[in-house]
Amino acid sequence: MSMFALCRRWMRSEAAKASRPFLRSSSPASPRLFSSHSGSFNSPPFATVSVEHISGSQPAEVLNLVQGEWKTSSWWNWIVDPLNGEHFIKVADVQETEIKPFVESLSKCPKYGLHNPLRAPERYIIFGDISAKAAHMLARPEVSDFFSRLIQRVSPKSYNQAQAEVYVSQKFLENFSGDQVRFLARSFSVPGNHLGQQSNGFRWPYGPVAIITPFNFPLEIPLLQVMGALYMGNKPILKVDSKVSIVMEQMIRLLHNCGLPKEDVDFINTDGITMNKLLMEASPSMTLFTGSSRVAEKLAADLKGRIKLEDAGFDWKILGPDVQAVDYVAWVCDQDAYACSGQKCSAQSILFIHENWSSSALLSKMKFLAERRKLEDLTIGPVLTVTTDSLLAHVEKLLQVPGSKLLFGGRPLENHSIPSIYGALKPTALFVPLVELVKESNFELATKEIFGPFQIVTEYRHDQLPLVLDACQRMHAHLTAAVVSNDLLFLQEVLGKSVNGTTYAGMRARTTGAPQNHWFGPAGDPRGAGIGTPEAIKLVWSCHREIIHDVGPLPANWVLPPSS
């Protein structure tokens, strides 16, 4: 059966499902995104783009926001369509000579913020209202669909994965509606030593702050961090990876529509060098960076430690001795490793399998699930930061390790028009023997994070668990992890000797997933940032301030004491 016929068959089956997306193609090499809503809804009133019409012949434009005004720049940066290579979005790219308005805008914000518990407290209420309105708007089917498809256009992933990002964002806004914003600034008091003395602890904003976020979650990560910064009284400047910044540009317009003052957030599109220069000149009190460890370390040095990091992670999963629910565990492993083409900082990077699983059908089921992924529905798609050649070169290097073997994948995607600047690899798993993996000569290669559909698999005997835990300890980033077991003693051993900030434990454990109801962030690093919860917002976007009131009265018959 031809590729075109397969596409048509898949479209018919998907169209029969309620509220499910499909990806239609006029030719196998040139897919085009739609959902079941397409054609029935116009663009929302805040939108300045039409998702269906963004193309090389009708390119979209992305502007910058500074001091309350949307502005262009002297240079347009063209974004390449990751599915066919067309120049389909042009971004107003701020040059080094144009950063002055952004520096001035941040400098206008005092260190005590736009609001705090003792100044303009009514803004806590205002932001509760803004969140409520934005949550209501984002819950509307046509708005949710608009953002889901826009995410697909710039960071190709399945519709369900894109829609999940919108859902988490919408629930986050619901969580911080009404009075919940002011509850973030809840203070405490401690009785003093004498009458008239009382100590008060406050959550205090940093004032001018910066936010830098990556491409892989173009709505969820920047939105949650921007809103957290605003809730606590800061003024943020936001830079999103230009490849996907159109999503957040449209979201900011939605927030303006819901009452966000236009001067409260600046939005900039620029390259890394210019952004670094802006940060050095503006000297924000705090910068939140989500992205690669290499850039994170440079920024930490440049900004003299005034930074919070949610950087990369080589994330592990350990399957314990109790073998059960093989079909379910295989499915979760497939989702963790290959959903969004593995382009999640929480993606399953390495799978440690207890020897008891060796007689199960786990690996064959994982292979089956990986091979059913296809470009037509974007359950596998372009890799935006690693080329195909680089991915294949990494596979070849690992195959030189004694005892290593390819379990599945390891070949380029076929019959596509993904441009060569991006990667196109079939979901891949490679087995490396544990005793070889932990050797000094192999460990760095085997634990190199590959931001794509790739994972390492290894097996351990029960008496080798200390080797596994030592390997987890040696990894440099500790973002997410999973311990798949209902054996309480095993869980106790592994959880007590590991550090990852977001760790799932139990037979349903996974590495990916940052729902709105739990902390998501690394551990083991004082610079570690979180996202999503009240604890994360308070940790990242406020500091502790203590005010001790000591008003008297003076003790009766007080006299000047001797020097001490």
Closest CA to 248 of 275, 263, 273, 226: 226
By the 10 Å C-beta count (0-12 exposed, 13-18 middle, 19+ buried), 504 is classed as buried
478 contacts 293 by C-beta, under 8 angstroms: no
Question: Buried b / exposed e across 344-374, counting CB within 10 Å, b at 16+?
Answer: bbbbbbbbbbbeebeebebbebbbebbeebb
The answer to whether residues 228 and 111 touch, using CB atoms and an 8 Å cutoff, is no
Rg (CA), the chain: 25
Q: Hey, what are 491's tokens?
A: 């869980």
Q: 10 Å Cβ neighbour count for 291? A: 21
Q: How far is CA 493 from the centre of its chain?
A: 29
Contacts of 57 (CB under 8 A, 6+ apart): none
Residue 378, classified by CB atoms within 10 Å of its CB into exposed (0-12), middle (13-18) or buried (19+), is: buried
Which of 14, 174, 310, 449 is catalytic? The answer is 310
Q: Is 345 a known active-site residue?
A: yes
Give, in order, the Cα–Cα distances in Å from 241 to each of 154, 270, 333, 345: 11, 9, 28, 15
Of 345, 449, 459, 472, which residue is the catalytic one? Answer: 345
Whole-number Å distance between alpha carbons of 6 and 11: 9
344-218-476-270 Cα dihedral, nearest 10 degrees: 140
User: Token pair 């926001």 is at which residue?
Assistant: 65
* Other Cβ atoms within 10 Å of 46 Cβ, number: 17
Residues 6+ apart with CB under 8 A from 237: 102, 105, 106, 208, 209, 210, 211, 265, 266, 267, 268, 278, 282, 284
DSSP letters spanning 490-556: HHHHHHHT---SEEEESTT--S----TTS-B---S-TTB--BSSHHHHHHHH-EEEEEEEE--PPPT
Q: What tokens appear for 324 in the block?
A: 């059960």
Tell me how long the chain is. Answer: 564
d(CA 267, CA 92): 11
Q: Which residues belong to the active site?
A: 310, 345
